[in-house]
C-alpha cells in the first residue's frame, strides 16, 4: 500500500466522549478528524459509517468509498445510492471483443445517471483476450462505450478467468497476459484516460507480475477485513456482499486511496526546455476539496529555476531544482524541475556505433515505412526536425515527409518493436525524451517507455554496423548502438554567375533543400536558357527536383540567340523545306520535306518558351505544333502536327552548328538521353520523305537553315 500521510494542524478541541463509540470533530480548516472513545487519534484501516476507509497518521480520512456494478445489479436507483454515502462508482461497460451484444446492457443507463446526479464514476471491461487482436478489439470496445463521456475515476482492465474461458480455449502465458494488460492500458492512456488494472490478489501476486505493470494503477480484489497485497495499489475491493440503498441484492464494495498528502501540486515534475521558459504551479487540498491560498514557494537551486509568489517557475540555467510548496498546517510538497537544453532544430542523427545516420528506408513516403541506419548522403530522408513539445519531450519529424513522425510501431511495449514513420497523433509513442550521456552523445527514450517503466531506448538492432539495419526500441544496455550524435543541417551558399547578364543575389540554402528559383536575369539581344552547374553548360539545374549539396556552389547562366520569328526551315542535305504532308490541316498529319513553293503551309512560327526551348507551329494553324508522335523517345518516331499541350515532345532546343546551320532536339530527347535530332529519313533527297527523330550523327540530313519570312 502507498504510504498515506495527511493534514497537520494545531487546534484546541473539546470532545464529549461516549464510551465504546467513535467520536469525531470538525476543525476550523473544514477537515474531519477521527478519535476513539478515549480521545486517541484513529489511524489505518477503519470501518466508518458502514464503509471501510483509511485514516492517515493524523486521524484524517484519506480514502473514498465506492461500489462497482454491472447488469447483475439490475435497475439501480442512483438517487438513493448517492444519499447513502457512496463517493464513487465503477461501472462495467461490457466484456470481450467490440461486439454490440457484449455491451453491458445497463452501462449507458448507469453512466448517464451518475453524470446526471454528479456521482464520480469510472468504468471497467472484463477481458476474454487470448491474443493481441482480441486486446485491440477490447480497446475499441472500451473507447466506443465511453466516447463523449468523462470516467474521472479511471478506465480499468479486468483480467481474470472467473468463468474458465481462458483455461478452456488456451490460457496465455503469464508474461503474455501481462503484455495484454500493458497494451490495453497504454492504448487507453494514449487516448487521454486515466487507466488501471483490476485483478485478484492471487493474480497480481502470481500471474500478472511483469515490472512493466508497475507504472499503472492497480485495483486489488481481496474479500477480507485487511488487504495483504504487498505492492502499491490505489483501490481495494474488500467485499462482494455489500448492501446499499437503491440496489437490490448484493454489491461489491471498494475503497480508493486519495493523494498522499492533504496538499498537492498540480505537477510533481516539470520539464522546461531552454533558459527563460516558464510554467505555473498551484496547490490544492484534496481533503478539503478547495484551492489553497497563502502558499509559500521556494526553490533549492535558483541558478536553475526560480519561483515567485504566484507559483510561476522560470528557468535560469540547465540542471535540476526542487520547488517546494509550504503552508502552515500542511506537510510540504515538492515538484522536481528539470531545465534542459533546447534541441529544437534540423539534424542528421548519427549512430556512435556505426557512424551511419538515421534514414527513412528507401526515401519512402508511405505511412509505416521503417526507420533504418544508412551511410550519410545528405538527402532529406536523413534529415530530422526536432520540435520541443514543452513537456520535456520532442516530436521528431522526417523532413522528407513532414506529416509523419518517429513512432514506436503500434504503441508497442515489447523490446524489439520497430520504429517507423507514422502520422503524428500526439501519442506517447511519438514523444521522445533526449537523455544526455557522459560521453557527449545522447539517447532517445519514448514517453511511452518512460511511463510504463520499461525505459527502452532507441537502438540499432543487434548493434549492427551494416547499412539498412532497423532502428528499434530495446532495453537500456548503455551500448554505443543506443547512443547518437545530433549534427545540425547547415546552410550553404548558392551563388549565381549571370555571365554578363543582370546580377542575381546569392542565397543561403540548407543541405538537401530545393532552391527557390530566382528571377531570370536579362541580357540585351539574347535569351536566358537556364542555370547550369558548370560553365560548359552540360548539366541544367532543375529547381523542381534538384537539391542543395553539402557545400557551396555556383550556378552559371546560359545565353542563346533569340530565334523567335517566322521561317522556312530548309534541309541542308536536300535543299527541300518542311511542310505538313500535302498542306493538310488535319491533326496528326505527318511532316515531310517538299520543294519550296512560297506557300504559307511551309511557314513555321518559332515562339520562345524560355529556358532555351521553343514551340514550333504551322503559320496556317497555330493550334498545332511540331510533335514527336506518341511522345516516345524511340529512334525513328515520326514527326507530326498535333494540338499543342506543352508536352516535352513539343518543346524544341535549337542547337547552332559551326557551319551556320542549326539542329533541333526535343526536350523529350534531351531528358531521356536518347540524343535524337530532327532528321530527314534515310538522308533522302526525294520530295515527300518523312521527317523523323534519329540519334545525332552529324549528317547534313539533321542540319537545317532557318530563313526568315514576312508573314
Q: Average of pLDDT values for 660-676?
A: 95
For 23, the domain range is 14-42
Once rounded to an integer, what is the mean pLDDT over residues 616-631? 95
Same domain? For 597 and 701 the reply is yes
The distance between the two most distant Cα atoms of the chain, rounded to a whole number of Å, is 133
Domain CATH for 672:
2.80.10.50
* CB neighbourhood size of 46 (10 A): 17
**Proportion of the chain above pLDDT 70, given as a percent:** 93
Burial category of 70 from C-beta neighbours within 10 Å (exposed 0-12, middle 13-18, buried 19 and up): buried
Judged against a pLDDT cut of 80, whether residue 262 lies above it is answered with no
Residues 194 and 317 in one domain: no
- In 3-state terms, what secondary structure has residue 540? strand
Residue 136 exposed, middle or buried by CB count within 10 Å (0-12, 13-18, 19+): middle
| pLDDT tens-digit readout, 576-594 | 999 999 888 899 999 999 9
Least confident of 108-122, 213-227, 291-305, 529-543: 291-305
- Which of 65-74, 247-256, 262-271, 399-408 has the lowest average pLDDT? 262-271
In a domain, 271, yes or no: yes
Q: What does the pLDDT look like over 281-327, one tens digit per residue? A: 988 765 444 567 788 999 999 999 999 999 999 999 988 999 998 87
In a domain? residue 379? yes
CA 446 distance to own-chain centroid: 12
The pLDDT, as a whole number, for residue 448 is: 93
Q: Do 125 and 84 belong together in one domain?
A: yes
Domain match, 673 and 580 both = yes
Stronger pLDDT, 222 or 334, i.e. the higher one: 222
Give the pLDDT score at 255.
93
Per the domain annotation, does 58 fall within a domain? no
Please check whether residues 529 and 580 belong to one and the same domain.
Answer: no
User: In this predicted structure, what is the pLDDT of residue 27?
Assistant: 44
Q: How confident is the model at residue 168 (pLDDT cuts 50, 70, 90)?
A: very high
Q: Which CATH number goes with the domain that contains 516?
A: 2.60.40.4270
Q: What Å distances lie between residue 309 and 265, 283, 293, 326, CA to CA?
A: 14, 12, 10, 11
Instruction: Supply the pLDDT for residue 98.
Output: 96
Q: Tell me whether residue 47 is in a domain.
A: no
Entry pTM: 0.47
Q: Other C-beta atoms within 10 Å of 255: how many?
A: 20
What DSSP character marks residue 571?
A: E
Last residue of a domain, one of 257, 272, 293: 257
**C-alpha cell belonging to residue 194:** 486515466
290 vs 2, which has greater pLDDT? 290
Half-sphere exposure of 165 (CA within 13 A, CB side): 12
Same-domain status, 186 and 306: no
Residues 131, 248: one domain?
A: yes
Both 473 and 583 in a single domain? no
> Is position 688 within any domain?
yes
Among 48-52, 222-226, 682-686, 701-705, whose mean pLDDT is lowest? 48-52
- Asked if the structure places residue 304 within a domain, the reply is yes
Q: Are residues 459 and 544 in the same domain?
A: no
pLDDT score of 25: 46
Position 332 scores a pLDDT of 77
Q: Which of 212, 238, 257 is the last residue of a domain?
A: 257
Joined grid coordinates for residue 221? 480484489
Per the prediction, the chain carries an average pLDDT of 89
Q: In the chain, how many domains are there?
A: 6
- Helix, strand or coil, per DSSP, at residue 652: strand
Average pLDDT over residues 218-234: 92
List of residues 6+ apart from 293 with CB closer than 8 A: none
Secondary structure class of 214 (helix, strand, coil): helix
Q: What is the mean pLDDT of residues 174-192?
A: 93
Lookup: cell for 141: 470496445
Residue 416, CB half-sphere, CA atoms under 13 Å: how many?
1
When pLDDT is averaged across residues 101-121 and rounded to a whole number, the result is 94
The pLDDT of 28-45, averaged and rounded, is 74
489511524: which residue's cell?
Answer: 43
Per-residue pLDDT band at 3 (split at 50, 70, 90)? very low
Q: Are 369 and 247 members of one domain?
A: no
What's the pLDDT at 531? 96
d(CA 237, CA 249): 17
Q: Do 706 and 609 contact (CB within 8 A), yes or no?
A: no
Find the mean pLDDT for residues 35-51.
Answer: 84
What is the dihedral angle through the alpha carbons of 101, 106, 110, 116, rounded to the nearest 10 degrees?
90
Answer yes or no: do 484 and 495 share one domain: no
What integer pLDDT is reported at residue 31 of this predicted model? 57
Q: What is the CATH number of the domain that holds 303?
A: 2.60.40.1080
**Structure letter (DSSP) for residue 292:** -
- Out of 323, 338, 353, a domain closes at 338
DSSP state of 167: H
Q: Are 522 and 637 part of one and the same domain?
A: no
Give domain status of residue 221, yes or no. Answer: yes
Range in 192-206, 280-294, 419-433, 658-672 with the lowest mean pLDDT:
280-294
- What CATH number is given to the structural domain containing 124? 3.20.20.80
If you average pLDDT over residues 554-572, what whole number do you get?
95
Distance of CA 642 to the CA centre of its chain: 49
Is residue 257 within 8 Å of residue 3, measured between CB atoms? Answer: no
Give dist(CA 699, CA 573) in Å, integer: 8
Average pLDDT value for residue range 129-135: 96
Query: Does 500 fall in a domain?
Result: yes
Amino acid 643: pLDDT: 96
Amino acid at each position: 500500500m502507498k504510504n498515506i500521510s495527511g493534514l497537520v494542524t494545531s487546534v484546541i478541541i473539546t470532545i464529549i466522549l461516549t464510551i465504546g463509540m467513535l467520536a469525531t470533530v470538525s476543525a476550523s480548516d473544514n477537515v474531519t478528524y477521527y478519535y476513539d472513545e478515549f480521545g486517541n487519534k484513529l489511524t489505518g484501516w477503519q470501518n466508518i459509517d458502514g464503509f471501510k476507509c483509511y485514516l492517515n497518521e493524523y486521524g484524517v480520512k484519506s480514502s473514498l468509498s465506492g461500489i462497482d456494478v454491472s447488469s447483475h445489479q439490475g435497475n439501480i436507483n442512483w438517487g438513493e445510492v448517492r444519499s447513502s454515502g457512496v463517493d464513487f462508482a465503477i461501472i462495467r461497460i461490457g466484456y470481450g471483443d467490440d461486439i454490440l451484444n457484449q455491451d453491458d446492457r445497463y452501462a449507458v443507463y448507469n453512466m448517464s445517471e451518475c453524470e446526471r446526479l454528479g456521482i464520480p464514476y469510472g468504468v471497467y471491461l472484463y477481458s476474454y483476450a487470448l491474443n493481441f487482436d482480441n486486446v485491440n478489439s477490447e480497446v475499441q470496445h472500451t473507447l466506443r462505450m465511453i466516447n463523449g463521456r468523462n470516467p474521472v475515476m479511471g478506465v480499468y482492465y479486468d483480467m481474470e478467468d472467473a468463468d474458465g474461458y481462458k483455461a478452456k480455449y488456451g490460457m496465455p502465458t503469464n508474461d503474455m497476459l501481462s503484455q495484454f494488460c500493458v497494451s490495453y492500458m497504454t492504448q487507453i492512456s494514449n487516448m487521454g484516460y486515466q487507466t488501471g488494472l483490476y485483478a485478484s490478489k492471487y493474480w497480481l501476486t502470481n500471474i500478472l507480475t511483469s515490472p512493466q505493470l508497475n507504472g499503472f494503477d492497480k485495483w486489488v480484489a481481496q474479500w477480507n477485513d485487511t488487504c495483504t497485497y504487498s505492492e502499491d495499489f490505489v483501490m481495494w475491493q474488500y467485499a462482494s456482499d455489500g448492501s446499499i440503498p437503491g440496489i437490490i441484492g448484493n454489491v461489491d464494495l471498494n475503497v480508493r486511496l486519495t493523494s498522499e498528502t492533504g496538499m498537492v501540486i498540480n505537477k510533481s515534475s516539470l520539464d522546461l526546455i531552454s533558459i527563460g521558459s516558464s510554467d505555473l504551479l498551484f496547490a490544492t487540498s484534496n481533503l478539503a476539496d478547495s484551492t489553497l491560498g497563502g502558499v509559500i514557494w521556494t526553490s533549492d537551486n535558483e541558478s536553475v529555476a526560480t519561483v515567485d509568489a504566484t507559483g510561476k517557475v522560470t528557468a535560469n540555467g540547465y540542471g535540476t531544482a526542487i520547488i517546494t510548496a509550504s503552508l502552515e498546517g500542511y506537510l510540504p510538497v515538492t515538484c522536481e524541475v528539470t531545465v534542459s537544453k533546447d534541441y529544437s532544430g534540423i539534424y542528421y542523427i548519427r549512430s556512435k556505433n556505426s557512424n551511419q545516420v538515421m534514414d527513412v528506408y528507401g526515401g519512402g513516403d508511405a505511412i509505416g515505412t521503417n526507420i533504418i541506419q544508412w551511410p550519410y548522403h545528405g538527402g532529406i530522408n536523413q534529415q530530422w526536425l526536432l520540435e520541443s513539445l514543452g513537456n520535456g519531450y520532442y516530436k521528431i519529424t522526417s523532413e522528407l515527409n513532414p506529416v509523419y513522425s518517429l513512432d514506436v510501431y503500434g504503441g508497442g511495449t515489447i523490446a524489439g518493436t520497430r520504429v517507423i514513420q507514422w502520422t503524428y497523433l500526439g501519442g506517447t509513442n511519438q514523444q521522445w525524451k533526449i537523455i544526455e550521456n557522459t560521453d557527449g552523445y545522447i539517447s532517445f527514450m519514448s514517453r511511452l517507455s518512460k511511463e510504463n517503466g520499461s525505459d527502452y531506448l532507441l537502438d540499432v538492432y543487434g548493434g549492427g554496423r551494416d547499412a539498412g539495419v532497423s532502428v528499434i526500441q530495446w532495453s537500456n544496455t548503455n551500448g554505443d548502438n543506443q547512443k547518437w550524435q545530433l549534427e545540425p543541417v547547415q546552410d550553404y551558399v548558392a551563388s549565381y554567375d549571370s555571365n554578363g547578364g543582370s546580377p542575381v543575389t546569392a542565397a543561403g540554402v540548407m543541405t538537401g533543400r530545393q532552391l527557390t528559383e530566382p528571377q531570370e536575369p536579362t541580357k540585351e539581344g539574347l535569351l536566358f536558357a537556364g542555370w547550369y552547374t558548370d560553365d560548359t553548360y552540360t548539366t541544367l539545374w532543375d529547381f523542381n527536383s534538384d537539391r542543395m549539396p553539402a557545400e557551396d556552389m555556383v550556378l552559371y547562366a546560359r545565353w542563346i540567340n533569340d530565334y523567335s520569328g517566322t521561317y522556312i526551315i530548309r534541309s541542308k542535305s536536300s535543299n527541300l523545306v518542311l511542310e505538313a504532308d500535302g498542306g493538310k490541316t488535319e491533326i496528326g498529319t505527318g511532316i515531310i520535306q517538299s520543294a519550296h513553293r512560297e506557300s504559307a503551309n511551309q511557314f513555321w512560327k518559332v515562339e520562345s518558351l524560355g529556358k532555351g526551348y521553343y514551340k514550333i507551329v504551322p503559320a496556317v494553324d497555330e493550334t498545332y505544333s511540331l510533335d514527336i508522335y506518341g511522345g516516345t523517345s524511340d529512334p525513328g518516331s515520326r514527326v507530326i502536327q498535333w494540338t499543342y499541350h506543352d508536352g516535352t515532345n513539343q518543346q524544341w532546343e535549337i542547337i547552332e552548328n559551326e557551319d551556320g546551320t542549326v539542329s533541333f532536339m526535343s526536350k523529350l530527347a534531351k531528358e531521356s538521353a536518347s540524343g535524337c535530332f530532327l532528321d530527314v529519313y534515310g538522308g533522302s533527297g526525294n520530295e515527300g520523305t518523312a521527317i523523323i527523330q534519329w540519334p545525332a550523327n552529324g549528317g547534313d540530313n539533321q542540319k537545317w537553315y532557318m530563313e526568315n519570312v514576312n508573314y
